[in-house]
Amino acid sequence: MSTPPGRDENEHPERLDRVLTTRAIVVAGLVVVVLSVSTLWLLLVLFGTGTPADQARLDVFRATGNVVLGAGGAVALLLAARRQRLGELDLRRKEAELAQREHAQDHVERVAADNRAHQLRLGDDAAVDAVERRITELYTKAADQLGSEKAPIRLAGLYALERLAQNTPGQRQTIVNLLCAYLRLPYTLPDGKAGDPANHQELEVRGTAQRILADHLFPGDDPGVERPEYWPGITLNLTGALLYNLDFRGCRTGNARFGGARFVGWTRFQDVSFGGYSIFGGATFDRSANFTRTRFHGAALFRGARFRNGAMFDGARFTGDALFGGVRTIDGVASPDGAVFGGLVSFAGATFERGVVLEHAQVTSDTADHVWPASWKLSAEGSPRTVVADP
């Protein structure tokens, strides 16, 4: 039985199932029994005498019966094949339904997983937003405290900023920038012990800001283990700042700007490592400046700096340019620009990988104990005497 054009055997398998219902099988069986009995009776009536003619006709009917039985067998095989086909179609339909249910279940599970992931992302975003808002609130509050007229409140603001920077590494450079900006604010030192109390209190606040920077720029005494309080990769901008008794011994920084700064009291940069350039051009050191064993990994610019009471660079190492003098061109005009050294100057044991420029540097002290880098010496005469190349 062929399938009509444009129709699929899978389209309505339930209609094919109706052909082989129990009722149809029973009726077909009764019809076969009736036909069999009728045929037997008819054969007995027509060919029951046993004559040769009857025998011949009986052989014909026997042959015809065999043909009919063969046709019946073929019909039975066809029915069996059709039944097999119906079973296959039903199995295919069930498999399709199962696959569809599995696909629907997978879709539901994917949607549920996507919803869960979305909810988790929303939760994470909300948590991040809450943390960032909290950090912003703490930073804003601490920055506002630095603007207070009361020194204790300014100190509280400094310590709040320090805690915030320690707990949130991503905010450290921003907070250091704020501390540096505070130290760059105009300030006048107290005039003796009887000066304005508020001025003395402000000096204590500024000293605290310096100590916070020094403490967190110190990696520790063990070269292989950094202190948890150390803040790596920090850059400094203290251009024009007034710094009192600055103690940066053993600190490690990136780029550092101290151009035009005034260092009041003693200044200690022993064993400091400047990872980038270090600018001290135009800075003033009121007392001795100690740069013993300091490592300058970038350009070290000291042109125009004034050392009023000695400068010690013993054992210092200059990887980049070391400029203590030379000529600067400003608006097309070449101008000599050298450091001014007062007191003892010592570069004993200092190393210079790219050379050192001391031309036009001046020395106000006439002591013979100065130690200059190789190929440099004091001029034979002049006041103040200058540092010149030693041929």
Residue 320 DSSP SS3: coil
Query: For residues 82 and 337, what is the distance between their CA atoms, to the nearest angstrom?
Result: 109
Last residue of a domain, one of 125, 156, 175: 125
pLDDT value of residue 1: 46
- Please indicate, yes or no, whether residues 242 and 385 belong to a single structural domain of this protein: yes
Last residue of a domain, one of 81, 100, 125: 125
pLDDT value of residue 25: 67
On whether the CB atoms of residues 266 and 288 are closer than 8 A, the answer is yes
- Please indicate, yes or no, whether residues 121 and 243 belong to a single structural domain of this protein: no
Residue 13: pLDDT above 60?
no
- The answer to whether residue 153 is domain-embedded is no
Last residue of a domain, one of 69, 103, 125: 125
Query: For residues 108 and 105, what is the distance between their CA atoms, to the nearest angstrom?
Result: 5
- Please indicate, yes or no, whether residues 105 and 242 belong to a single structural domain of this protein: no
Give the pLDDT band (50/70/90) at residue 331.
Answer: confident
Give the pLDDT band (50/70/90) at residue 16.
Answer: very low
- Please indicate, yes or no, whether residues 244 and 386 belong to a single structural domain of this protein: yes
Number of domains in the chain: 2
Phi, psi of 317 (to 5 degrees): -125, 125
Residue 67: pLDDT above 70?
no
- Please indicate, yes or no, whether residues 117 and 239 belong to a single structural domain of this protein: no
Residue 37 DSSP SS3: helix
The gap from C-alpha 133 to its chain's centroid, in whole angstroms, comes to 20
- The answer to whether residue 154 is domain-embedded is no
- The answer to whether residue 204 is domain-embedded is no
Query: For residues 364 and 154, what is the distance between their CA atoms, to the nearest angstrom?
Result: 41
On whether the CB atoms of residues 310 and 291 are closer than 8 A, the answer is no
Q: Whole domain around residue 110: which residue ranges?
A: 13-49+56-125
- Buried residues in 209-218 as b, exposed as e (16+ CB within 10 A): bbebbbebbb
% of residues, the chain, pLDDT over 90: 55
Query: For residues 141 and 131, what is the distance between their CA atoms, to the nearest angstrom?
Result: 15
Q: What is the pLDDT of residues 44-59, one digit of tens each?
A: 666 666 677 767 766 7
Q: What is the pLDDT of residues 106-159, one digit of tens each?
A: 888 888 888 888 888 877 766 666 767 888 898 999 999 999 999 999 999 999
- The answer to whether residue 178 is domain-embedded is no
pLDDT value of residue 8: 52
